Amino acid sequence: MINSLAVVGATGAVGRIVLEEIRLRGLRFKHLKLLASPRSAGTKVRFGDQEHVVQVLSPDAFDGVDVVIASTPDEVAAEFVPWAVARSAIVVDESAYYRMNPDVPLVIPEVNPQALDTHHGIIASPNCSTTQMVVALKPLYDAAGIKRVVVSTYQAVSGAGLAAQDELIVGTRNNLSQQAEQPSMFPYPIAFNLIPQIGSPKHQGFTSEEMKMVRETHKILGDDSIAINATCVRVPVLIGHSESIYCETAEPLELSKILELFRAAPGVTLVDDLGNKRYPMPRDCANKADVFVGRVRKDLDHPCGISFWCVSDNLRKGAATNAVQIGKLLSDKLANVSA
C-alpha cells in the first residue's frame, strides 16, 4: 500500500480518468492529495465517498508524498517533477518531457515491467499511439522477433485535449448547417476531414508524433534494430486511436499461432470475425482499458509478413490506465519492501 499518493493535473480530462482507474484497479493508499494549477485550486473533486479540495501545485505540496501520478503538459512536468523527486517521491509522468531520457525507464506494464527496477525517482509513460502498438506487437516479438513495422494511425481528436473534442462537435454542426468553420486547435477543419500531420516537422519529413513511435518503441523493447515507418493522421473521431499495422517477423508464424498469441497476450482482446463483421472500432472500444486487435492476416507474398488492425481508448490505456498500472506495480514493490 502507498502511504501518500498525489495526482497532479487532477481536474483535467486524463486526471479525472486517473482517479477513476485508481478506484477500478484497487490502487491502495492511506492519503490522497490532488494537485493542479492555481486556476483549478480550490475545486472540489469527489473520490469514493470523500470530497477532496484541489491544492496548488508547488514544491511544498510534495512534502511527505510517496508516489505521484501526473498528467500535465511537458513544460509543467519539466518544472514540478524535480520538486517531487527532491522530496523522495516517485513520479509516474505521462508527459513527453522525460521519455527519452536514458536515466528514465519508459514503461508499459504488460511489456517491460522489469524496467521499473532502474528508476531514479521518475518513470515515464509512453505516447498513446506507441503504447497500443507495442502492447499488440509484444507477443509477436517474443515469439518470433520483429524486423520491420509499417504503421498508419487514425488518431482521435481527444489526443489534443477537451477543446479539440469541442472543436469537432461544433465544426460538425456548423458544416451540416452550412455555417463557417473556424478551427483553432487544428490547422484545418477536422469535421468530415483527415489531417495527415500530428506534431511538428522533424527528421526527413516525418512529424514529431511519428518519430515518437519510432524512438519510444526502440526504447521500450530495448531493440534499436527494428525498422519502423509511421504515418500519423488525425481523424474526426472523439475517443479511440486506430492503427493499421504491418510487421515482418524474424521467423515465420502460422496464422493459427498468431491468433493464439493475441488471445493469450495480457492487455489484448482479439475481435476478429470478418464473416460476421466483427472487428475493433473506436466507438466500441471507448471507455475500455484493453488494446483491441482484429483483421489479422498473413502477407500473401512474404512468409514473415503480418497485417492487423488495432484500436484502443487513447485516454485510458494510452494515458491514464497505463500510469495507474505503473502505480499499482510500484505499490506492490513498496509492500514487498516493507513486508
Amino acid occupying residue 1: M
Quickly list DSSP for 41-81: TT-EEEETTEEEEPEE--GGGGTT--EEEE---HHHHHHHH
Residues 4 and 29 sit within 8 Å (Cβ to Cβ): yes
pLDDT at position 212 is 97
pLDDT at position 224 is 97
pLDDT in tens, 274-312: 999 999 999 999 999 999 999 999 999 999 999 999 999
Q: In whole angstroms, how large is the CA radius of gyration of the chain?
A: 20
pLDDT at position 338 is 56
Give the pLDDT band of residue 269 (cuts 50, 70, 90): very high
Centroid of chain to Cα 322: 6
Q: Could you identify the residue written with the cell 489534443?
A: 160
Whether 247 is catalytic: no
Could you tell me if 74 and 208 lie in one domain?
no
Q: Could you identify the residue written with the cell 524512438?
A: 215
Does pTM top 0.85 for this prediction?
yes
Could you tell me if 38 and 66 lie in one domain?
yes
pLDDT at position 41 is 83
pLDDT in tens, 212-252: 999 999 999 999 999 999 999 999 999 999 999 999 999 99
- Find the catalytic residue in 241, 247, 285, 304: 241
CA distance 65 to 2: 9
pLDDT at position 334 is 73
Residue 297's CATH number: 3.30.360.10
- Find the catalytic residue in 119, 128, 232, 304: 128
CA distance 3 to 25: 17
Could you tell me if 171 and 309 lie in one domain?
yes
Number of structural domains the chain divides into: 2
Say yes or no to pLDDT of 37 above 90: no
Could you tell me if 31 and 165 lie in one domain?
no
Could you tell me if 162 and 58 lie in one domain?
no
Residues spanned by the domain of 265: 130-314
pLDDT at position 97 is 97
The share of the chain scoring above pLDDT 70, in percent, equals 99
Could you tell me if 116 and 135 lie in one domain?
no
Average pLDDT of the chain to the nearest whole number: 95
pLDDT at position 113 is 97
pLDDT in tens, 139-186: 999 999 999 999 999 999 999 999 999 999 999 999 999 998 889 999
Dihedral sign (CA 9, 10, 15, 19): positive
Could you tell me if 247 and 290 lie in one domain?
yes
Residue 35's CATH number: 3.40.50.720
Could you tell me if 297 and 184 lie in one domain?
yes
Whether 304 is catalytic: no
Give the pLDDT band of residue 128 (cuts 50, 70, 90): very high
Q: Where are the alpha helices (DSSP H) in the chain?
A: 13-24, 74-86, 128-144, 162-176, 208-221, 255-264, 282-285, 321-338
Could you tell me if 203 and 270 lie in one domain?
yes
